[in-house]
Each structure stands twice: as C-alpha cells, then as structure tokens.
Amino acid sequence: SEKELLFFREMLDSFLNKIKKAVIIIVNEEIFFVNQDFCNITGYSKDEVYRMKPLDFVHHDFLNLAKKNMATNSVVPYETWAKRKDGSLLPVLITPNILQYKGNSFRIVSIKNLTQEKQYLKQERLLRKTMEQTHESIVITDIDANIIYVNNKFCEITGYSKEEVMGANPNILQSGYHTKTFYESMWQIITSGKVWHGVLRNKKKDNSLYWEEATIVPIVNEAGKIDSYLGVKKDITEQKMIEENFKNTEIKYYELIKNAPIGIISADISGNIIIINPVIETFSKILSLQEIKKINILTSPLLRTIGVSDQFQKCINNKKKIKYEVSYRLKNGKDIYFRLYLSPVTNQEGKVISVLLIIENISQEKEYEKVIIKAKEKAEENDRLKDIFLANMSHELRTPLNAILGFTEILNNSKNLLPEQKEYLTYIENSANHLLELVTDLVDIAQIESGKITINKEKIKVSDLINTLIPITEKQFSIYQKDYLDFTIDINDAIKNYVLNVDKSRFVQIIINLINNAIKYTNEGGIVFSATVVKDELVFSVQDTGIGIPEDKHETIFERFRQTEENLTRQYEGSGLGLTIAKELVTLMEGRIWLKSELGKGSVFSVAFRIDTHTEEEIQKDIITVNNRKILKNRFTVLLVEDNSQNKLLIKTVLLNYNFNVIEADNGKKAIEILKKTPFINLVLMDIQMPEMNGIEATKIIRKMNITIPIIAQTALAFPEDKKKALDAGCNEVLIKPFKQDQLLTTIIKYLTL
C-alpha cells in the first residue's frame, strides 16, 4: 500500500543517509528514493530529484546503455558520466542491484564519485611518463635498499636491463673507487631522514667506469616513517674529462686572455668556471677574482635571478651563439649593465664541451637609451592624451549634433512650414553636417596616425557601391548649397557587374571625399564620376570643372591640412583633411590614388583597385528592408536607456511616430531594474556614456542575467576600440551618433524580424 511504501522510504532514508555513498532506488522507471549523498554529488535537492526521471542524470552518450541495463535488470557495474545541476559532468561508477519487496521490484543503484581516482590515475601516469622521459637516471629502493624501480635512462647508462636489477642492491654499481667510510657516511645521512648529494664513480655492466652526480632522498610515508629511497643521478663523465683537459691547458690559454680589455670567462657545461680574466673583477665591484671563480654559472642564485643561467643552458642545448643583455644593482643603488656573448665550444664529435662568455660593460650606452626611451614615452603619452581629447571632443560634439540633426529631420517632415522656415532648417542641417564632417575627419586622421584604423574587406559588386554612393552624393550638393551643378555618373552596366575586394564603408568614404573636394572648388559647370577597366584594375575618377590645382602643389595636396589656398583670405571651406584621409584609406586597401590638374581648367582625381576574380553568385549579401507598414501592425516595446534629455526626446519621438511603445531609463542601473520587472521588452537602445552605471557595464550584467533580447548601443564615442568594447560586452550592434531616422529604424527592424 501507499502507506507501507512511505514507511519503507522513511526507513531507507534513516538507514542510507548514514552510508557515505550516493544511492538511488528506482521503481517502475521512477525515482522512489535518493539519499543525501546523491543530492550532494548531483547538486539537486531531494524535491527536485523526485520530480525528475532516472535517465535525466545520464550523459547522452550513455543513454542507450542505461536504458538497456534498466530494461534487462542488469546488475553488472559500469563506468559512465553523470550530469550535474550546473551542467558539469561527473565520472562515476554505477553498481546496480535488484530487490524484490512485496511484489515490487526495487532497482538499488549505488554511485561512486570517481573524480579523485581519475585525478590520481592521471597524476600517476604523468609522473611515470616524466620519470621515463627525464634525462636523469632514477632509482627507487625499499627500506632495505632493494631496487624496486629504475627508469630507461638508468638502463641506458649502466647497461643493465630492468629485469636484471629488480630486487638487487645498488652496490652492484660500486667500482671500488670510494672507501667503505664514504658509503657508511652516505647511509647514515639518508637513514636519518636527510638528503645526500655527491659525486660517485661507478661501474657499468661491461665493467667500464663512469662518473655521476647523485642526489638521494628518503621517502616518508603517512606515518612519518621512511619506507623507500629515491636516487636521481646525472652522468657527468664527459664533464670530468673536460675538467682534466682544461686543467692541462689552463695556463696556456690564460696568458692569451688575461690582458684582454673585455671580460672573458670559459666554463664547462656544468657551469664551473675554468678560465677568467682580471677585467671581470673590475666589472663586479663587489667580489674578488678568486671569489668570482668559485661561482657556478648554473646554480648561482644571482645569475639564475638575472637569467644568465638560463641563457648558458640554452647555449649548450641549442649549440648556438647567444647575445644577451643583463643588469644588476650595486650597493650604492646604481644599476650596472652588461652585454654577454655566449659561444658553444664543441669537440670533434660535435658535442658541446664548454661555453665561452665575452662580457662588455654597456652602462653608459644604457644611460643614453634611457634618455631616448624617456623622450619616446613622453611622445606616446602626448599621443595618448591627444586620443583621449579627440574621443571626448567627438563625444561632446556628436551628442548635441545628434539632437540638432534629428530634430531638424523631424521638423523638415512637418507639412505646415513656411518657405523661409524650410530655408532656415536647411541652413541648420547643412551647418551641422559640415561640423559632423569636420569631427569625423579629425577622428579618422587621429586613428590613421596611431595605426588603429581598421579595414574590413568584403567581396562586393560595383553596382552595390554605386547604389550606396548616390543618395549620399546628392546630399553633399545640398550641404554645400551647389545643387545647380551638373552631376553625371558615367559607368556602364558591364563595369557595374565587376567585383571588388574592399571595405565598403571606407570605399564610399574615399569617393565622397573626392566628390566633396570637387564640389567645394567648382562654382560652375559640373562633376563627372566615372569608372574604366585598365588591365586588372578598376579605375574610378572624379572630374570637375573647378579652379584646378597648380602643378607645384600636386605633391603636397595630399598632405594633411593642405589646401589650394592657405592664406587668411581663402574662399573655400574645409579642414584640409579629406584628401589626406582618402589617400591613407586607399593605401590601406592596397589601391592607388593620383591626380591630373591644370590651374583654371579643373581636376581629375583617380583611385584604382584590383578587380576580384569572384563571380556575382559567390557574393552573399544580407539585405534588410524597412517596411514601415509592418512596424505599425506590431506594437513592439523598446527600452530607451539615455541620459541626455535632448537625445532621449529625439529618439522617443521617432519611435512613437512608428507605433513603438517606449520605456525610459536614464542610466544602466535603472535599465537593469526595469528589465528584471518587465518581461515584455523586445529591444534595448543603450547609450554608453552615462552617470551611475555606463552602458558597457549594464550590458555585461544583462547578459549575465541570461537576457537575450537585442541590445543596440547608440553612442557618440566614434573610435573603433569603443565599438569593440560595446560588442564584446554583449551588444548586437553599435550606432554612432548622429544617425538618421531610417538608419535607426533599419537597425531596429533587423533585430525584431530575425
């Protein structure tokens, strides 16, 4: 009965919670009981577990096996991976049992967490692999000095196989060179729990002698008792032979180098200094020549700290010369600098037997470098401050410009304006666009100077580029109040089908800059934008009937802030950056730019880019159409996060005109609070620079809350790194202020219709 089953569960709960093993009991493929250990390893509470199915805890790769075992009532233990609440996987051992109780079949499954065992096995394999691959000979004995392990290097050096030495005493290697007292002293040290280090002259299986540097370490068990000994030994036979050779030739070589004006040291591959000249003592300022000679290059704490030891070993290992600079501080606080040249010395077999070190004192040279570095850092700091200034200036100008251009656009759409009001709005819009052009030019030139400007190439048809250019170009004639000029596009249909590999926005910027330049300097006649194929290049030209450029200024016209007229009485507006930016962008896209001009007869500016071999079918474009009637049918809700009251009013007005529901927040903190309480928001328009909490931090927190609605950043921070920060934080797209209504609406619809 149900009452009996409940009693049975309570009894199991009392009993199985005392067992330090996870247990789950399954009846009719339903979870009947779990103990607390099961909850601990899975991360679920009991209430959560009882609402789940047994297979919910099984990794998908093992579902078929688990189903089969349950269907056949298998009691064979097996390893698998369990799924935890946090999504992580846990290696476990499943041990099932079947219990019949009053007509019910209970599948009792104990679960053992194998994480620690897996880690131990991994560590053991890693340790064993390391010991087998090390360049040192390794021997392990038990407490009675019987060999229980040797690595491959031991066998390679001694000539014994592993089978031959297992259970043997290491004294099989004794050569008779060392006295009985020597070994008694060694044994006394290691049995007292201390580490022994020394040099042994031992005998191989073939009775040949060899030298080895050995370290023997007593291994202590959990009870604090020594239960084994570890010996790590390095074959130094060749080094010993080198030492003998050096001793025999030391006087001969020393005479040659002792009077050299530079520091000279010769050391064996163990780091022992064999030859040193007196100049080294003047370099040290601290130690005498004899004290320096006792230093081991590989083990000296000072030389290890400043990297000389590593470079010495690298020279030996790679058999290559090394140039290395190092410094250390004297007691008087002054830094002293050296340049070291390390050269390996090899024997007839090509083995490195020693290293020659040539040492120069370069302290004075470093002082000169510090002066240069300080000047460079000052220049970089000035560049950084300039970037900050330009970023702030861009933000502070773009924010009000967004409001000016936005409200101008709204007013221009009004039907009740008088002709003079329309004219005033045109003046306002043209002036604002002129200022925006100046801000954009200054930001671009700063990015170019710092090397931070980015080029994102794509395969694009010429027709797409022209379609993008036309509306922008028409606007430029209005901005400069020269709508009366003729404008002709002379590009045939065949050329429109060609494909270029360019950055679309930068290409458009180049052509617009050239057209702007032509508009400014042309008062009558017209402008022709044309394209021709020349070999493997597509050449775009902007020809005007303007004032022309003197021949002596053809070279300088592309320099920043240069104009045809540079005096106080100049007639033409502009920053003098348009052509500079165009040239730099063309260069970054691996194109060419040039001009032909004659004073009083107009100019032709041309740019050329290689024609891409891709066909039209290979170009995939993401086309998004703004359908205002579709917007009106759906009342989407937008959270507008903006601290500037003018920009807030502007964007809100645009959205309300298109039937959007708008919720407002003036900082990131309030936006988060609104999102927590309001589940029906479709999209967020997020300003970046705001008080209390900025848009970057707010977006990061929103994404951590697993809120996946589109977030569109709208900011006056125009640098590429600012855009990257917003995208990295989790924004779907970034709109740079000021932006047009259709640009805002197109972007919103893009994400509401995905």
pLDDT category, 613, cuts 50, 70, 90? low
Is the pTM here over 0.85, yes or no?
no
**Mean pLDDT within 539-546:** 94
Assigned domain for 449 exists: no
**Mean pLDDT within 498-527:** 90
Q: What are phi and psi of 350, to 5 degrees?
A: 85, 5
Assigned domain for 434 exists: no
What percent of the chain has pLDDT above 70? Answer: 85
Does position 565 have pLDDT exceeding 60, yes or no?
A: no
What string of DSSP letters covers 368-430?
Answer: HHHHHHHHHHHHHHHHHHHHHHHHHHHHHHHHHHHHHHHHHHHHHT-S---HHHHHHHHHHHH
Does position 670 have pLDDT exceeding 70, yes or no?
A: yes
Does position 81 have pLDDT exceeding 50, yes or no?
A: yes
Would you mind telling me the total number of residues written for the chain in this entry?
754
**Mean pLDDT within 134-162:** 90
Q: What is the pLDDT of residue 6?
A: 64
Shared-domain flag, residues 637 and 512: no
Instruction: Report the alpha-carbon distance of residue 432 to residue 434 in Å, rounded.
Output: 5
pLDDT category, 622, cuts 50, 70, 90? very low
549: domain CATH number?
3.30.565.10
Q: Do 203 and 178 meet the contact criterion of CB atoms below 8 Å apart?
A: no
Does position 33 have pLDDT exceeding 60, yes or no?
A: yes
Among 360, 352, 370, which Cα is nearest to 326's? Answer: 360
Shared-domain flag, residues 650 and 602: no
pLDDT category, 155, cuts 50, 70, 90? very high
Q: What is the pLDDT of residue 567?
A: 40
Q: By residue range, what is the domain housing residue 692?
A: 369-413+622-754
Q: What is the pLDDT of residue 551?
A: 84
Structure tokens at 317: 């290992």
Shared-domain flag, residues 664 and 716: yes
Assigned domain for 425 exists: no
Instruction: Report the alpha-carbon distance of residue 416 to residue 397 in Å, rounded.
Output: 30
Instruction: Report the alpha-carbon distance of residue 380 to residue 326 in Å, rounded.
Output: 26
Assigned domain for 393 exists: yes
| Range of lowest pLDDT (285-289, 378-382, 580-584) | 285-289
pLDDT digits (tens, 9 = 90+) for 190-230: 999 999 999 999 999 999 999 999 999 998 887 889 999 99
Assigned domain for 433 exists: no
All residues at 6 or more sequence positions from 375 whose CB lies less than 8 Å from its CB, including other chains: none
Average model confidence (pLDDT) for the chain? 83
159: domain CATH number?
3.30.450.20
pLDDT digits (tens, 9 = 90+) for 452-489: 677 888 888 899 889 888 888 888 887 777 889 999 99
Shared-domain flag, residues 654 and 733: yes
Instruction: Report the alpha-carbon distance of residue 503 to residue 510 in Å, rounded.
Output: 11
Listed residues 361, 386, 402: the one ending a domain:
361
| Range of lowest pLDDT (44-58, 254-268, 512-526, 738-752) | 254-268
All residues at 6 or more sequence positions from 336 whose CB lies less than 8 Å from its CB, including other chains: 283, 285, 327, 328, 329, 330, 361, 363
| Residue 137, strand partner residues | 233
Which value, to the nearest 10 degrees, does the dihedral of the CA atoms of residues 688, 691, 697, 698 take? Answer: -80
Instruction: Report the alpha-carbon distance of residue 61 to residue 233 in Å, rounded.
Output: 47
Question: Which carries the bigger pLDDT value, residue 13 or residue 744?
Answer: 744
Q: Which helix (H) or strand (E) holds 210?
A: strand 209-220
**Mean pLDDT within 615-625:** 41
Q: What are phi and psi of 433, to 5 degrees?
A: -65, -35
pLDDT digits (tens, 9 = 90+) for 118-133: 887 777 777 777 677 7
Does position 729 have pLDDT exceeding 90, yes or no?
A: yes
Instruction: Report the alpha-carbon distance of residue 92 to residue 78 in Å, rounded.
Output: 9
Shared-domain flag, residues 139 and 158: yes
Shared-domain flag, residues 70 and 207: no
Q: What is the pLDDT of residue 363?
A: 86
Q: What is the pLDDT of residue 568?
A: 35
Shared-domain flag, residues 551 and 637: no
Does position 570 have pLDDT exceeding 50, yes or no?
A: no
Helix residue ranges, H only, 526-667:
578-588, 628-633, 645-657
Does position 626 have pLDDT exceeding 80, yes or no?
A: no
Assigned domain for 446 exists: no
Listed residues 618, 651, 678: the one ending a domain:
618
Overall number of domains in the chain: 5
What string of DSSP letters covers 449-505?
Answer: HHT------EEEEHHHHHHHHHHHHHHHHHHTT-TTSEEEEE--HHHHT-EEEE-HH
Q: What is the pLDDT of residue 229?
A: 93
Shared-domain flag, residues 292 and 377: no
Q: What is the pLDDT of residue 305?
A: 87
| Range of lowest pLDDT (405-419, 555-569, 707-721, 723-737) | 555-569
Listed residues 192, 209, 235: the one ending a domain:
235
Shared-domain flag, residues 544 and 638: no
pLDDT category, 59, cuts 50, 70, 90? confident
Shared-domain flag, residues 475 and 597: yes
**Mean pLDDT within 11-31:** 77
Assigned domain for 303 exists: yes
Assigned domain for 677 exists: yes
Q: Residue holding tokens 């902007």? A: 542
Instruction: Report the alpha-carbon distance of residue 152 to residue 145 in Å, rounded.
Output: 20
Does position 430 have pLDDT exceeding 70, yes or no?
A: no
Q: What is the pLDDT of residue 200?
A: 93
Shared-domain flag, residues 283 and 302: yes
**Is the peptide bond prior to 738 cis by the omega test (within 30 degrees of 0)?**
yes
Instruction: Report the alpha-carbon distance of residue 193 to residue 552 in Å, rounded.
Output: 90
pLDDT category, 261, cuts 50, 70, 90? confident
Q: What is the pLDDT of residue 482?
A: 86
Helix (H, G, I), strand (E, B) or coil at 295: coil
Q: What is the pLDDT of residue 711?
A: 96
Shared-domain flag, residues 146 and 212: yes
Instruction: Report the alpha-carbon distance of residue 113 to residue 125 in Å, rounded.
Output: 20
All residues at 6 or more sequence positions from 337 whose CB lies less than 8 Å from its CB, including other chains: 325, 326, 327, 361, 362, 363, 365, 366
